[in-house]
Amino acid sequence: MNLPDPEALYARLKDQIKHAFPNRSELGLIGIHSGGAWIAERLHRDLQFALPCGFLDSALYRDDFSERGMKDAPQPAQVPFDVEAARCWW
């Protein structure tokens, strides 16, 4: 089986964000601790976001605790910018 090249996938994602959001002065980026935090950090650095990078642990927001259980020590959310009136893009 041929797996896609991770660096090529990253470059494509970076280009898509770069073109979709040319002005990143008020755009915040939040990475999910279970696997997306390192990608968010890399995108934040490479695309030079003005706002600091935020992080979220999805363990506190899951609806399948009965099946998966709760993590021993979920990490607190770290969102160093105001999200109260923000628009979400996903």
Counted domains in the chain: 1
Q: Which residue has the higher pLDDT, 87 or 44?
A: 44
Is 30 part of any domain?
A: yes
User: Facing residues of 30 across strands?
Assistant: 54
Report yes or no on 38 lying in a domain: yes
| Rounded Cα gap, residues 38 and 63, in angstroms | 24
Map residue 78 onto helix, strand or coil. Answer: strand
pLDDT tens digits along 12-33: 999 999 999 998 888 889 898 8
pLDDT tens-digit series, residues 69-87: 555 666 777 788 888 777 6
Global pTM reads 0.74
Write out the residue range of the structural domain in which residue 33 sits: 24-60+74-80
The separation between CA 70 and the C-alpha centre of its own chain, rounded to angstroms, equals 22
> Do the Cβ atoms of 14 and 47 come closer than 8 Å?
yes
At 54, give phi and psi (nearest 5°).
-110, 165
**Cβ 30 vs Cβ 80: under 8 Å:** no
Whether residue 51 is contained in a domain is answered as yes
